[in-house]
Amino acid sequence: MDGTDDGGTAGTVVAVLTYRRAGHLPALLRELVGQAATVTPRAQVLVVDNDPAGSAADVVLGWADRGVRYVHEPRPGISAARNRALAEARGAAVLVFIDDDELPCPGWLERLVGAWRSWGCAAVAGPVSSQLLVPASAWVAGTGVFDRRRATTGSLVGGAGAGNLLLDVRRVRDLGLAFDERLGLTGGEDTLFTHQLVHRGGELRWCDEAEAVESVPAERVTRSWVVRRCFRSAGSWSRAEVSLAAGPGGRLRTRAGILARAAVRLSLALLALAAASVRRDARAQGAAVGTLASYSGLVVGALGFVPHEYGRPPAPSSEPVGGDARVGGH
């Protein structure tokens, strides 16, 4: 079930990917519709529903008269949804991704598009800060998972997530880029995509003023979740680095360098964990375990193993709209 308008008619397309999280959409769509008029020509808002049941259709189609398009992409996985967004934006100048559990700050879209116009680069990434819906324990905070990276505006970066990302559609097409659908249920498809973009000669620049805010529910403010996130994020980075190295020799050298660095850091983290345990310093314990998980993930990713973090169990047909399952992560 698709919207009635043809895709690719706007200079800017803002894409929201969603999977059984329709309850998040009204607040986000309200913000996006408001910001769509801040760029010229007016941006088009596109929602790609990755639920085979099309559970977001009723909510999104209620926004059709305010310029929001709905498309249904039933193929499972965030990569399929991202590639559908690319296809729908084929006639646009830029495609902007924002996650369905985020809200853009005032001026977000205008700043992203303005930065792209000023710099003429292939992509612009912005920060995603975390708004925790419950307080984090000292241990969880110590892992640093919710301390998102920042960079100087205009600086070149080697990769980024797609939770707050602008792509020059023509440059993406010229570089022959698409999201790897083998990673659709593992995550890390955005890390690989942006690394490929840079590897093939595209410029990815940072706009620190174009901020989005992610709502973090209670089930993610736990030790088990942050450890899994440390492990998976690091594994996505090392997998991308190895896969993009030149030839078998280059991949071997990259893999060896990652493994050597991981061996040193894992040893130091074990010592730090022991010391923190003696001191009963929960924050330092979390930091040490986060480092252990991250460098373990680097090793696993460098060796080509991928955890299926976003595997989908079959859902009953009566599952309510707005459940907790995700398409993917950043």
- Model confidence at 328: pLDDT above 50: no
- Model confidence at 316: pLDDT above 60: no
Q: Looking at residue 321, what is its pLDDT?
A: 31
What average pLDDT score do residues 120-128 get? 97
pLDDT in tens, 225-254: 999 999 999 998 898 899 888 899 999 999
**CA pair distance 222, 308, nearest whole angstrom:** 19
Q: Looking at residue 8, what is its pLDDT?
A: 39
Q: Looking at residue 200, what is its pLDDT?
A: 96
pLDDT in tens, 198-232: 999 999 999 999 999 999 999 999 999 999 999 99
**CA pair distance 80, 231, nearest whole angstrom:** 24
- Three-state DSSP class for residue 161: coil
Q: What is the dihedral of CA 249, 251, 255, 256, to 10 degrees?
A: 10
Q: Looking at residue 193, what is its pLDDT?
A: 96
- Model confidence at 11: pLDDT above 60: yes
Q: Looking at residue 182, what is its pLDDT?
A: 86
- The answer to which of 50-64, 79-93, 121-135, 302-316 has the lowest mean pLDDT is 302-316
**CA pair distance 123, 196, nearest whole angstrom:** 12
Cβ neighbors of 120 (< 8 A, separation 6 or more) are none
- Three-state DSSP class for residue 98: strand
Query: CATH assignment of 12-220?
Result: 3.90.550.10
Percent of the chain with pLDDT over 70: 89
- Farthest-apart Cα atoms in the chain, separation: 64
* Residue pair 49/73 in contact by the 8 Å Cβ criterion: yes
Q: Looking at residue 224, what is its pLDDT?
A: 97
Cβ neighbors of 139 (< 8 A, separation 6 or more) are 223, 282, 283, 285, 286, 289
* Residue pair 327/19 in contact by the 8 Å Cβ criterion: yes
- Model confidence at 2: pLDDT above 90: no
Measure the N-to-C terminal CA separation of the chain; round to a whole number of Å. 28
Task: State which H helix or E strand residue 292 sits in.
Answer: helix 282-302
- Owner of token pair 């912005």: 126
Partners of 14 in the β-ladder: 45, 96
Residue ranges of domains in the chain: 12-220, 225-302
